[in-house]
């Protein structure tokens, strides 16, 4: 599989942040409010960046690590 457990956890965290940001924007329901004008857009942006990071991150496997070569002794 392309994604690991860590990728799915980060993806769910990003989706939750985006949903929380939109919910905060809707709950305040004011155009000039502090939460809907400053805080909620930052949380939404952070959520989208988290989703991008979850897609791009590749957890290091022990199989992918470079193996140390032993010198050949005659």
Residue 32 tokens read as: 């000039």
Query: What is the pLDDT, as a whole number, of residue 72?
Result: 67
In whole angstroms, what is the distance from residue 69 CA to residue 4 CA? 29
Query: What is the pLDDT, as a whole number, of residue 71?
Result: 67
**pLDDT tens figures, 20-73:** 999 999 998 888 889 989 999 999 999 999 999 999 988 776 655 566 666 667
Query: What is the pLDDT, as a whole number, of residue 50?
Result: 97
In whole angstroms, what is the distance from residue 22 CA to residue 51 CA? 16
| Rg of the chain taking only CA atoms, in angstroms | 21
In whole angstroms, what is the distance from residue 42 CA to residue 47 CA? 9
Q: How many CB atoms lie within 10 A of CB 34?
A: 10
| Residue where the block lists tokens 């599989």 | 1
């Amino acid at each position: 599989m392309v994604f690991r457990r860590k990728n799915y956890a980060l993806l769910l965290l990003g989706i939750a942040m985006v949903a929380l940001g939109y919910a905060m924007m809707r709950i305040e329901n004011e155009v000039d409010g502090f939460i809907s004008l400053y805080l909620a857009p930052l949380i939404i942006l952070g959520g989208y960046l988290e989703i991008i990071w979850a897609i791009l991150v590749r957890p290091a496997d022990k199989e992918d690590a470079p193996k140390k070569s032993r010198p050949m002794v005659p």
